[in-house]
């Protein structure tokens, strides 16, 4: 399958122009055979078009790396390609700003799905359905040496914390800021950025003391920082219970069951493990995918 790419916005991983991708080329992901039974279960409009549109909100390494105007790589891109091969359709990637725009666009029928992975939360399940394929943890990336002594959510009072706008981490850090104030401590300066690279650059430049986000992308950025960054708060829940992330489709979408079956087959034939290992995501694997696992 040759994935068609339609990018309305893009960003790079860093400002230096270095596009080395940790783990990106070390493992080969085998091409999938067409599964005619699954193809036949697709909605007629998808079969007629021969393609699906997967929307993303910009670079979210190592899952989604938007590079220029015509290239999307990362674990999610590899998964999308494998699923497209198995289902017999092309996957067209489109980049837009913000989760809210993704949700409204899917509800309006402009996008078929978001490979994501997007955080699965009960309140989001009221707007969309999640086919979960990742388990995640939320931690902090700080400058090497941790100059502000951040070691978990309760040590962020009075600090400048970067988050991705509209995400669950933004809600948690804003709630923590209120907790700080109510406890007589200095509030948190919450800095909301539209994408992950912008947020991590705020830490590298000293504009923010830490970036509060999912461990998988933060691990990618730390590994790619040349020893300038480190992870902290990895032993704490940091305001979250068990976290699941997955493909997001419109609520009651006809695609739900066929996408789950496709993911189950990719688990069974070893492709899922190969993709996750290729992108250093072993710690984020789910034993089996599932629908709306967040409770």
Portions of the chain given CATH number 3.40.190.10:
36-135+245-291, 138-232
Mean pLDDT of 135-154: 96
Band of residue 22 on the pLDDT scale cut at 50, 70, 90: low
Band of residue 87 on the pLDDT scale cut at 50, 70, 90: very high
pTM of this prediction?
0.76
pLDDT score, position 25: 57
Class for the domain spanning 138-232:
alpha beta
Does position 12 have pLDDT exceeding 70, yes or no?
A: no
Say what percent of the chain tops pLDDT 90.
71
Identify the residue with better confidence: 6 or 222.
222
Residue with tokens 């609520």: 251
Mean pLDDT of 189-197: 92
Identify the residue with better confidence: 295 or 2.
295
Mean pLDDT of 151-179: 95
Structure tokens given for 251: 């609520």
Identify the residue with better confidence: 60 or 249.
249
Which of 80, 84, 120, 85 has its CA nearest to residue 99?
120
121-125, 146-150, 215-219 — which one is most confidently predicted on average? 146-150
Say what percent of the chain tops pLDDT 70.
90
pLDDT digits (tens, 9 = 90+) for 234-288: 988 899 988 999 999 999 899 999 999 999 999 999 999 999 999 989 889 999 9
Mean pLDDT of 144-153: 97
pLDDT averaged over every residue in the chain: 89
Does position 16 have pLDDT exceeding 50, yes or no?
A: no
pLDDT score, position 283: 82
Identify the residue with better confidence: 117 or 9.
117
pLDDT score, position 151: 94
pLDDT score, position 256: 97
Class for the domain spanning 36-135+245-291:
alpha beta
Does position 13 have pLDDT exceeding 70, yes or no?
A: no
pLDDT score, position 249: 96
């Amino acid at each position: 399958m040759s994935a068609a790419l339609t990018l309305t916005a893009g960003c790079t991983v860093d400002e230096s122009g270095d596009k080395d991708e940790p783990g990106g080329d070390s493992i080969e992901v085998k091409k999938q055979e067409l599964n005619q039974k699954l193809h036949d279960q697709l909605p007629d409009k998808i079969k007629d078009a021969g393609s699906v549109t997967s929307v993303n909100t910009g670079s979210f390494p190592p899952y989604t790396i938007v590079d220029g105007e015509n290239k999307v790589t990362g674990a999610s891109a590899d998964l999308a390609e494998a699923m497209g091969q198995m289902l017999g359709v092309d996957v067209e990637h489109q980049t837009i700003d913000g989760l809210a725009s993704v949700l409204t666009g899917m509800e309006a029928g402009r996008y078929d799905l978001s490979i994501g992975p997007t955080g699965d939360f009960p309140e989001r399940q009221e707007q969309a359905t999640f086919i979960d394929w990742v388990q995640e943890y939320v931690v902090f990336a700080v400058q090497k040496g941790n100059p502000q002594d951040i070691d978990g959510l309760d040590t962020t009072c009075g600090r400048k914390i970067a988050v991705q706008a509209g995400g669950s981490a933004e809600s948690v850090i804003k709630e923590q800021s209120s907790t700080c104030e109510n406890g007589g401590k200095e509030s948190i300066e919450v800095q909301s950025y539209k994408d992950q690279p912008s947020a991590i650059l705020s830490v590298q430049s000293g504009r923010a003391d830490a970036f509060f986000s999912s461990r998988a992308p933060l691990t990618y950025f730390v590994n790619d920082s040349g020893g300038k960054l480190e992870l902290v708060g990895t032993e704490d829940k940091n305001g979250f219970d068990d976290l699941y992330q997955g493909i997001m489709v419109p609520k009651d979408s006809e695609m739900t069951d066929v996408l789950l079956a496709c993911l189950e087959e990719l688990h069974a034939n070893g492709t899922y493990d190969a993709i996750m290992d290729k992108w250093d995501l072993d710690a984020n694997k789910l034993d089996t995918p599932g629908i709306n696992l967040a409770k």
